[in-house]
Amino acid sequence: MDASPAIRISQLRKVFGAKAAVDGLDIEVPRGSFFGFLGPNGAGKTTTIRMLMGLAPPTSGTIELLGLAMPEQAVEIKQRIGLVPDESLLFDHLTGAEYLEFVGRLYSLTRAVSRERARELLGLFELDSAGSKLIGEYSKGMRKRVAMAAALIHRPELFLLDEPFEGVDAVGARLMKELLQDLVRNGATVFLTSHVLEVVERLCDQVAIIHDGKLVLNGSISELRAGSETLEDLFVRVVGASAVREHLDWL
């Protein structure tokens, strides 16, 4: 097995106008780990994950995924990663089954294999009955499920998941969590962002917290927590969210 980490980010920077959305990020995610990437809204999580996915070029710094350099070896990397981005990669005028077949073919699976895996994945995510409905008619949770199914169709080694459980019901979320844990047990790596800190606490071995584009904490959850502190306490402490809530008379 390759000894290189699943993800190696070095001095990553992304500037929008005068603002650095990501500012000198250094992260290493070991292979076979379940990694949580946390931060308050607007901290730079989605920008980072978009750069990892090859959807946005960095201003400076380097990205290595599975030992390959991004963007130089982008095609080889993309062939081996599964994506659930926050913004939809879905096409609303395709049915769930058609979309999964389409994605399978983009990952160079044959039409027959794509179709077969699409059928099985729709079954796994309890979307069989919705398989012939247009994605545009899906609920938010169903859209996330079909996006997750699409991320799995080519059996990737690394998953980049941006808010994968958002809008998914308890049954669907449990299914997705168990599936991801199984994948990690079998050697896959998961890099996920989520605002549901209980989920991150339960699933992830390691977390990194980003604030204003800068890495403020990185390590295993057990090492980072002080005493009986929960991940939520740790998060609030680190990002400094201690503003006093003012009362609005009219409310």
Partner 1 sequence: MAVAFDTRHARAIVWAQWRSLRNRLPRSNKGALAFSILVGVLWYGMFLAMAAAVAGVFADSADFPTTRRALPAAFLVCFLYWQIVPLLLASKGSSIDLRKLLAYPIRPSEFFALDVLLRLTIASEVLIVLGGAFTGLLLNPSLRWWAPFALVPYVLFNMFFAVGIHDLIERLVARRGIREIIALLFIVAIALPQLLVMKASRDHFHRVSELASWIGWPWRATADLAGGQPSAQALVLLLAWTLSAFIFARWQFARTMQFDPAEAGASPRLKRGASRLDWFYRAPGMLFRDPLGILVEKELRTLVRSPRFRLVFAMGFSFGLIIWWPVAFGHSRNTHSFLGDNYVTVVSLYAVMLLSEVLFWNVFGFDRAAAQLYFVAPLKPETILKGKNLAASFFVALEVTMAVGVCALLRLPIALRGILEAYAVTTVVTLLMLSIGNLTSVYSPRAVDPTKSFRTSRSGRVQALMLVIYPVAALPLFLAYGARYAFDSEVAFFGVLALAAVFSGVFYRISMETAVGMAESRKESILEVLSRGQEPIES
**What does the buried/exposed string (b/e) look like for 38-59 if buried means 16 or more CB atoms within 10 Å of the residue's CB?**
bbbeebbbbbbbbbbbbebebe
- Contact status: 69 vs partner 1 (CB under 8 A): no
Q: What is the smallest separation between the CB atom of 98 and partner 1, expressed in angstroms?
A: 5
- Contact criterion met (CB below 8 Å) for 104 and 113: yes
- Contact status: 54 vs partner 1 (CB under 8 A): yes
Distance CA 185, CA 191 (A): 14
- Contact status: 90 vs partner 1 (CB under 8 A): yes
Tell which residue, 152, 162, 142, has the closest CA to residue 100. Answer: 152
Tell me phi and psi for residue 31, to 5 degrees: -65, 145
The binder of partner 1 chosen from 38, 53, 127, 215 (CB under 8 A): 53
Closer residue to partner 1 in complex, CB, 17/227: 17
- Contact status: 233 vs partner 1 (CB under 8 A): no
Closer residue to partner 1 in complex, CB, 36/104: 104
Tell which residue, 145, 139, 222, has the closest CA to residue 177. Answer: 145
Q: What is the smallest separation between the CB atom of 112 and partner 1, expressed in angstroms?
A: 13
DSSP reduced 3-state for 233: helix
The binder of partner 1 chosen from 5, 39, 85, 131 (CB under 8 A): 85
Closer residue to partner 1 in complex, CB, 31/154: 154
- Contact criterion met (CB below 8 Å) for 96 and 138: yes
- Contact status: 117 vs partner 1 (CB under 8 A): no
Residues of the shown chain interacting with partner 1 in the complex, contacts defined by CB under 8 A: 14-19, 53-57, 59, 71, 74-79, 83, 85, 88-95, 98-99, 102-103, 105-108, 134, 136-137
